[in-house]
Chains A and B, each alone.
Chain A
Amino acid sequence: MKRKRILLIIAVFCLLLSGVLSVQAVPPNLAQPKIGDSIEAVTSYSQDGLRLIADPQTGEIRVENEQTGYAWYSNPTDRENDKVAAGFNKMNLSSQLVVTYLDKNGQTDSTNNFVGSIRKSAFTCEKIENGFRFVFTFPSENFVIPVEYTLANGALVCNIPIDEVEESGEDRLCEIQLLPLFGAGASSESGYILLPDGCGALIEFGCSQAKAKVLGGYKSFVYGRDPVLTTTTVVGQTETLLMPMFGVKKDEAAFLAIIESGDALSMVTAMPNNKESSYATVSPTLVYRNTDNAILREMKSSEKSILVYDETPVSLENYTVSYHFLSGGDANYSGMAQVARRYYETLGMDGTAGYTGTYLELTAGARMSDYFLGIPMQRYTAFTTLSQARDIVAYLNDSGVEQIAVKYDSLFSGGEQYKMTQKAKVERKVRDMGLKAFLSDIANAGNRMFPTVDLLKIHASSSGVSKKNDAVRNVSGGIFTGYTFLRSTTRKDTSAAYYTIAKASVFSDLVTAYCSAMNKRGFTNYADLTSGNLLPSDHHRSVFSKQKPTDRQQVLNTYIATYESITDQSDFLMFDRACGYVFPYATDLTSVPMQSSRYELFTKDVPFVQMVLHGKVAYSSQSVNICDNTDVAMLKCLEYGSTPLFSLVYEGMDRLAASAYNERFSSSYFYWRDQIVAYNTRYELAYKQIAGRTMLQHMEVQDGVYVTQYAGGVSVAVNYTDALVELNGHSVEAGGFLIWEE
């Protein structure tokens, strides 16, 4: 009896113990409710055929197409089966926000709203007009971040009201990643991520684990990295994320997300399948506060890096990202491009691009090391004078190349990389004929002349501009000094002089001054080399002044106001290597990328930017003569609808190598002119046929054969293979193209 009692007690004890152990063994994240599990827990809102459903228990949302029933989830529904994600990445699968912050010791740390808020039940959900509002409180870090999801005009709009974000503790909020898993693609699904990196790139789903292990993820600043941030090495060259967008195509559906507010303060992150989790993901990140690793005593033995950050966060009211959904035949990157184009149309990209025969990039001259009686000095050497430029254009006109757009570099006094050229004074050594006569000779034949200016980089102080006082400062408060980077060492070329970057307000004044000077001298077109691709923030850090930093969005707003103010003074506005923010103002864009950064992560390049621009803004390729195969480059131009750009000098090729223009290593006019004429003869009709039409569709019909369709039923096929290809009864020769109209 006694033994039985003892046995019973032991048995009960064991049971209790196992119960306790089993409770402990269940990971808390498995206990989470799944979206769609309990109808009561879910609230929904419908508009324009879309239904927005929010789960107040888990913070998750989903958007359903009421017609097709297809749903986009903020977090993958089968995430519990994920075998790749572990630790923090596993928690991220259930999150809508991932937050990076500096703790009180200045160490960078990360958390997400699942760990930091949802699991602590420290969040609320309420119904607002057209949608829902969540407020996530992070008790340990003392942050409050509200997120609003609404439906508007057939799109999901996610918004973080920045003025309602709170940081009350000692931790400093740095980055907020929004909806990191929205539209995540599983390996088993077919589809891709689209990034407007360079011309546009796809990351197709299905990256194997072996491959993903060695691939880097993608994290890039919209409009390029802030130049004032510390850069020690530059290996290779990369393209810029030109537009504040990204897209996902999955099965028969797709979306394009557009960062509508806070674009200049954003980064876009993309991961292939099996990297951080089994899903391929893409999402936007807001840089809430600028941080930087400042380098003390750079390249010296005592080199040291210090983390510095702004006291105040960025000045932004709302961080807004809209998700535009596509289905059926539009659910691909072509469809995404149509959405992107309509977005830019609402911002003012409403022109029609006419036919341009070719773009010429002429180098007028360069300021370079020279010796006068053995005394070293910097002197201007002319490569293409006014009369030579006129001869070049006249020869090409006479040979059948019509309506040439001339980008004339380094034309103004002293040349580029010298004093500011806001006075628009033509360099004496180039002016071998009257300017009026020159301009009328060029314009009479229907050509357009664009003398280029760089009113941002300050190479030397000159009247009205101080290299130091008018320059932007980096996060640690020092004047930003820019250098070129050597291809060999990948480090700064400190043997050359540095430049600084003008503050936005100074830039604005310079543009105003330049435009009136330019008009006085008879130039009618404004051509900007730098402001389309150089967007610096400006930080003042001093014990004495409590000046607030100027963030990139504020700088961008100043740029835009400047562009708006000069549209009356300039017939055409040209931008070189420009980002999306100039699209509504530009009439001509030069050197629009013909490639992506070619990260190993990318599986295809697509002409996404070209599809947005074609028919609305005239644009050129990168130089087709400064590449390793011009025949192929020309074919690629036609595929991308890009007008070819030829970079030329009239004379002095042997001296060009010693100048700052040594990247234009194949520019001899007399070598290229007859080839330009021959290419024109070959491609002219095709370009005339597609001029002014929007590009509707681009696709690879078979290996090495691409078809681009334009509005009005015009299609162009190009064949890169070395075999004849049959397309619906018509043959396209090897290395040839075909154009037809339906």
Chain B
Amino acid sequence: MLKKIGAVILIAALLCQGISLSVAAGSAFNDVYSSYTYDVDDQSIPSPPLYVPQEVIGHDLGEYGSLATPTDLCVADEELYVLDSVNNRVVVFDAQLEPKRVVTLDYEPKIEDARGIYVHDNGDIYLALYKQKRVLIADSTGQVKAVLEQPKSELIPSDFVYSPLKVLVNKYGYICVVAEGCYYGIVLMNQNGGFEGFYASNQVEQSVLSAITTFLKSFFTNAQKSKLQRTLPTEYSSLALDKDGFIYTTSSTVTNMANALKKLSPSGKSILKNNNNKNFGDLEIAVVASSAQKTLLSDLCVDDNGYIYALDTNAGKVFQYDGESNLLGVFGGKTQQLGGFTEPVAVESFAGKILVVDQKRNQIVCLEITEYGQMLHDALRYYNEGIYDEAKELWRQIKERNGNLPLAYDGLGKAAYAEKQYKLAMDYFRISENKSDYNLAFEAYRTVFLQKYFPVFFFIVVILLVALWVYLSRQIKQGYSAKALSRKRKYITPFYTMFHPIDGFDQLKREKKGNLFYSFIVLFLVLVVRIVSLQYTGFLFNAKEADEINILFEVAQVVVLFAVWVLSNWSVSTLMDGEGFAKEIWTASAYSLLPSVFSGVLSLVLSNVLTQDEAFFVHGVTVIGTIWCTFNMVIALMKVHQYSFGKTIASAVLTVLGIAFVFFVCFLMYSIVGQFTDFIKNIVAELQFRM
């Protein structure tokens, strides 16, 4: 092919150099595979691909023809077993993905309905037959050894329809079967098909709705009850073993996606670490024609390093997680491109590759790890093995290769923590929003800090205590004179009502000593404290990130709520013979909010110096502030309207109902106006199309 190199002038021998290549030819530009992960705000963000498709097998298997509706895969003894259901056989591939032999099953009727395959270490093949409602055990030549029918037991309800999806043998030798519509857990059988019980029974998911339904049910007749849809625990869709013999499961019908993937302990409890209780699958969900396009996990596999690959049949994607439920990346998609799927049904890790079976396209897509993916795996492994130096260097590189990955900052933080660089670790954990590790780093940092500056602190604390003691003793002496002083003043201050609510609000009402200006100052302070605390509350105690705060909304919240409170209370009081004027209600209500300003400032300060273990103090301060405010508010209303205590409480409750009513009416108006404009828009659009 090459033209004869006759008078070849080699430009320079230098030009012929080698580099080490770990990836197949030409697969470096992979822009067409739009891989992604999620950022700390749960928004999808581009990522370099972890895996790229290398080849597609199944259409040309030489003497073995081609696959017809392959439905599952299993790896045993460094061989890959492909369940080729319609061809009534199992095709066995070697590590180079070359077909080696086929096992044709000596079984009538055929295995066209087989959905799951498991190959035991002794070479026995287990098949889950979906429609025939049985599990088949054959030896390595295809001779049927046993046919296990639906197990019988009084534990199994009579209306139970047994449709086996997946099967495996656990490390204790029991056969585990996941069946469709089986809400009781994994069916556990012995080798003779005897029922051993349900393993890892799924719990009914508790939600507000289910609680209400349960409550309502107690009023229903039996006939009504039977018409209600039964609240059922979720069912499993698939299961897989890791190299230590732990069983992992996926569930397809969960409402809480944080339960969609589990690692089971021998007793059937989920022991998969999921620190932030994150959902599995997609976090962004499109709603199309009123139905949410949720992730449907139908299969999974766990590779030798403990990475979990979960298959989403709905969108044809593979989600890769590490052993702590961190999402490493998402790849695949329903496309006609190489690496795209139409109806993916099973995923398996084999010879360092990820294989996905597409039953519609009769093929297995073989994906290979990229340089970036390998780097990420190595970094996680090094960290888990405690080799922090290597891990740190790799995390540093990963951060440079994918600045979008929060996990990289997490890794760097952990490395910094291991090196006792607590401040640096805190900075990294802050970017990755890892509160639990931030808490550890912060605690360590605070300890070091306190140790260093203990004498200074000790000195300051002693001085503060002494000052407080002096101040308090003087206050007690002057306590009575404060009352006298307040009589002389033209206006009463919020400070006074804070500590002397009964007398203060009494003066405010009877002697008209309320001051509108003071009330605005209090409201302003409430606002300022709220905004400042939103921005400067310690990272550990701040539910919202600073960049999520919309100040206009916060201001509106305080001002509107306060105004509606006053409006509603005034309306209620006119109906209940209250004597307060709107101005008085406004002023008194504002005055009584002052304690929250102090509690707010104090908890703001505390939130920056306390750890999560001491959260009690931060929340305690807030609670005390709230109780104080409520108490003052009740006194204020009592005095302003000249109510009895009982009537005050009643009016307060009615006021709250009034507020709810106002908001309800506003919401109603909003939605009616919205629907009306939608209606007009639609008419215009339809007219445009039809004309």
Q: Is the interface of A mostly helix, strand, loop or mixed?
A: loop
Q: Is A699 within 8 A of B49, CB to CB? A: no
Q: Is B691 within 8 A of A543, CB to CB? A: yes
- Chain-A contact segment, one of B140-148, B336-344, B458-466, B625-633: B336-344
Q: Is A737 within 8 A of B15, CB to CB? A: yes
Q: Which residues of B contact A294 (CB under 8 A)?
A: 689
Cα–Cα distance between A730 and B10 once the two chains are bound (Å): 9
Q: Is B551 within 8 A of A299, CB to CB? A: no
Cα–Cα distance between A635 and B29 once the two chains are bound (Å): 11
- Taking CB atoms and an 8 Å cut-off, the chain B residues in 1-32 that contact chain A are 1-12, 14-32
Determine which of A369, A622, A657, A682 lies in contact with B404 in the assembled complex, contact meaning CB atoms within 8 Å. Answer: A657
- Chain-B contact segment, one of A241-249, A413-421, A665-673: A665-673
Determine which of B14, B21, B342, B685 lies in contact with A632 in the assembled complex, contact meaning CB atoms within 8 Å. Answer: B21
Minimal beta-carbon separation of A507 from chain B (angstroms)? 25
Q: Which residues of A contact B337 (CB under 8 A)?
A: 236, 238, 597-600
- Taking CB atoms and an 8 Å cut-off, the chain A residues in 594-651 that contact chain B are 594-595, 597-602, 605, 621-622, 624, 626-633, 635-636
- Chain-B contact segment, one of A40-48, A390-398, A715-723: A715-723
Q: Is B360 within 8 A of A682, CB to CB? A: no
Interface check A16, CB cutoff 8 A: no
Cα–Cα distance between A665 and B404 once the two chains are bound (Å): 6
Q: Which residues of A contact B15 (CB under 8 A)?
A: 685-686, 737-739
Q: Is B44 within 8 A of A740, CB to CB? A: no
Q: Is B289 within 8 A of A301, CB to CB? A: yes
* Range class of the B interface residue count: 35 or more
Q: Is A628 within 8 A of B372, CB to CB? A: yes
Determine which of A489, A656, A729, A738 lies in contact with B403 in the assembled complex, contact meaning CB atoms within 8 Å. Answer: A656
Q: Is A239 within 8 A of B32, CB to CB? A: yes
A668 and B16 in contact, given A214-B361, A239-B32, A374-B551 (Cβ under 8 angstroms): no
- A350-369 toward B: CB 8 Å interface, digit per residue (1/0)? 00000000000000000001
Cα–Cα distance between A595 and B414 once the two chains are bound (Å): 39
Q: Is A629 within 8 A of B34, CB to CB? A: no
Minimal beta-carbon separation of A307 from chain B (angstroms)? 9
Interface check B202, CB cutoff 8 A: no
Q: Which residues of B contact A730 (CB under 8 A)?
A: 5, 8, 10, 16
Minimal beta-carbon separation of B36 from chain A (angstroms)? 4
Q: Is A489 within 8 A of B16, CB to CB? A: no
Minimal beta-carbon separation of A664 from chain B (angstroms)? 9
Residue of A nearest to B372 (CB): A628
Cα–Cα distance between A491 and B552 once the two chains are bound (Å): 30
Q: Which residues of B contact A31 (CB under 8 A)?
A: none
Q: Which residues of B contact A371 (CB under 8 A)?
A: 546-547, 549, 551
Q: Which residues of B contact A18 (CB under 8 A)?
A: none
Minimal beta-carbon separation of A736 from chain B (angstroms)? 4
A369 and B372 in contact, given A685-B15, A736-B17 (Cβ under 8 angstroms): no
Residue of B nearest to A716 (CB): B15
Q: Is A490 within 8 A of B46, CB to CB? A: no
Q: Is A375 within 8 A of B340, CB to CB? A: no
- CB contacts between A and B, total, < 8 Å: 282
Determine which of A301, A488, A662, A732 lies in contact with B290 in the assembled complex, contact meaning CB atoms within 8 Å. Answer: A301
Q: Is B17 within 8 A of A665, CB to CB? A: no
Number of interface residues of A (CB under 8 A): 104
Q: Is B286 within 8 A of A214, CB to CB? A: no
Q: Is B32 within 8 A of A598, CB to CB? A: yes
Q: Is B31 within 8 A of A622, CB to CB? A: yes
- B247-261 toward A: CB 8 Å interface, digit per residue (1/0)? 000000000000000
Q: Is B20 within 8 A of A599, CB to CB? A: no
- Chain-A contact segment, one of B100-108, B128-136, B277-285, B483-491: B277-285
- Chain-B contact segment, one of A84-92, A439-447, A561-569, A701-709: A701-709
Cα–Cα distance between A542 and B576 once the two chains are bound (Å): 61
- A414-434 toward B: CB 8 Å interface, digit per residue (1/0)? 000000000000000000000
Q: Which residues of A contact B682 (CB under 8 A)?
A: 296-297
Residue of A nearest to B335 (CB): A236
Minimal beta-carbon separation of A209 from chain B (angstroms)? 9
Q: Is B362 within 8 A of A632, CB to CB? A: no
Q: Is B551 within 8 A of A628, CB to CB? A: no
Q: Which residues of A contact B623 (CB under 8 A)?
A: none
A704 and B60 in contact, given A488-B283, A488-B284, A598-B32 (Cβ under 8 angstroms): no
Interface check A734, CB cutoff 8 A: yes
A235 and B334 in contact, given A627-B29, A636-B26 (Cβ under 8 angstroms): yes
Q: Which residues of A contact B22 (CB under 8 A)?
A: 629
Cα–Cα distance between A600 and B53 once the two chains are bound (Å): 11
Q: Is A491 within 8 A of B288, CB to CB? A: yes
Q: Is A236 within 8 A of B34, CB to CB? A: yes
Residue of B nearest to A369 (CB): B547
Q: Which residues of B contact A665 (CB under 8 A)?
A: 46-48, 401-404
Minimal beta-carbon separation of A369 from chain B (angstroms)? 7
Q: Is A487 within 8 A of B36, CB to CB? A: yes
Cα–Cα distance between A306 and B687 once the two chains are bound (Å): 12
- A657-692 toward B: CB 8 Å interface, digit per residue (1/0)? 110001101111001000000000010011001000
Binding site for A on B (CB under 8 A): 1-12, 14-36, 38-39, 44-49, 52, 56, 59-60, 65-66, 282-290, 293, 315, 330, 333-340, 342, 360-363, 370-373, 400-404, 431, 531, 534-535, 546-547, 549-552, 554, 682, 685-686, 688-689, 691
6 pairs from A and B in contact (CB 8 Å cutoff): A296-B689, A656-B403, A667-B403, A721-B25, A734-B18, A740-B8
